[in-house]
Every structure is written in structure tokens, then in C-alpha cells.
Chain A
Amino acid sequence: QVQLVQSGAEVRKPGALVKVSCKASGYSFTSYAIHWVRQAPGQGLEWMGWINAGNGHTKYSQKFQGTVTITRDTSTSTAYMNLSSLRSEDTAVYYCAREGAARSGIDYWGQGTLVTVSS
């Protein structure tokens, strides 16, 4: 079965960087894109960017340009999300999620990783 398993909770100070991993299994990793979506406390879902796991091409939300970097390692079927210059407003649960087949939505999600930014 398809699974996306994310790394554990992180605590960082303002200005630091965090790296969250997302290990995929149960499907051909390079055949699907991976999104990163976050949810701040009391807020809705916010799309950050995605990566074509096959060719490594990325697209980011303008809001996160310059602070987020999404990469992947095909040898381990793992996607990564780096977020730099952290601020308290970046405190959120971060999800990786798989884009389904054409026009079929985001069909599988990781369990979420809580990132807390606090001095």
C-alpha cells in the first residue's frame, strides 16, 4: 500500500533552518509528484511547492520563494523540504503529499511533522 512517512517533530530558533523528510513506499516514486502543504495553528491548508520526483523539477509558491527548497533522493524514495530563515509564523504542521494521476487530486498524505519555531 502507498505510504508516506515523515520525520519527527522539530524545534528551532528564529533564523534557523529545518529539514523535513518524507519517505515513500508502495508505488513507483519517480512516477508521481510530491507536494508540501502546511497548516499553522488555527489556520487552513497552505500549499508551499512541489517536486516532480522523476526529473527533480520544482515549483514553489511565491510566498516561499527564497526560503523553501524541495529536493528528492530517488535511491531512497525520499523527498525533503528545507525551510530557512525561520520565523515564529512558520510554526505549523508540515505535510508531504502525493499528486495522483492526471487531474485526480492529492491522493496520499504523510502523517505530518510539527515544526515549532521559538526562542
Chain B
Amino acid sequence: DGGITQSPKYLFRKEGQNVTLSCEQNLNHDAMYWYRQDPGQGLRLIYYSQIVNDFQKGDIAEGYSVSREKKESFPLTVTSAQKNPTAFYLCASSSSGTMNPEQFFGPGTRLTVL
């Protein structure tokens, strides 16, 4: 089955620790995205990547880092610099070459800071 997987589904972190969220897709999509969602709110863009070895900051990149070494993978690291990291994190991917392509979302990772 083609799709996007995120792991883990639930993640607990102590304050001051870095943690990495996994995102993998087998849709052969060039573009990948990371969003953050807080309770009752919409999604906010953290980082996005249009091609391997290239990525850009979204609206709330502070305290986060990413890498895009492979087309299939776009891991997100939540660093200790992120002051309020407890949230629902969603990864998405889309094809390139058309304007405003459909984004396919993973099931999400719920991060809780203890």
C-alpha cells in the first residue's frame, strides 16, 4: 500500500531533551511537509522540502530542525529550544509539477512533554 507513515504514534519527552519524529513516504513524492496542530486550532507549517537535500522554514520553525537526505524520509527533530513542544505533529507529502497539488497526510505523532 502506498502512503505516509509516522512513528511513534505517541511520544513522551522530558524537558531539555531533543526528540526526533519519523516520517516516511512511498508515494514517490518530491515535496514533504511538517505541521504542528494545537488543540482546537488549525495546522501551522514548521518546515517543508521540495526536493532532496533542500528544505525551507515555515511559519514556526524556531526550536525545530529537519533533514532530507532521502526522497522517502523527512525526520523532524524537536529541540530543547522549543519552549512549548506539546502538540500533535503531522507530516504530509505532495507531488511537484502542478500548482497547488493535493497533500497526503500521515496519521500524526502526539508529543507530550513531561
- To the question of whether A and B form a pair in one complex, the answer is no
Task: Give residues in B with beta carbon < 8 Å to A.
Answer: none
Task: Give residues in A with beta carbon < 8 Å to B.
Answer: none
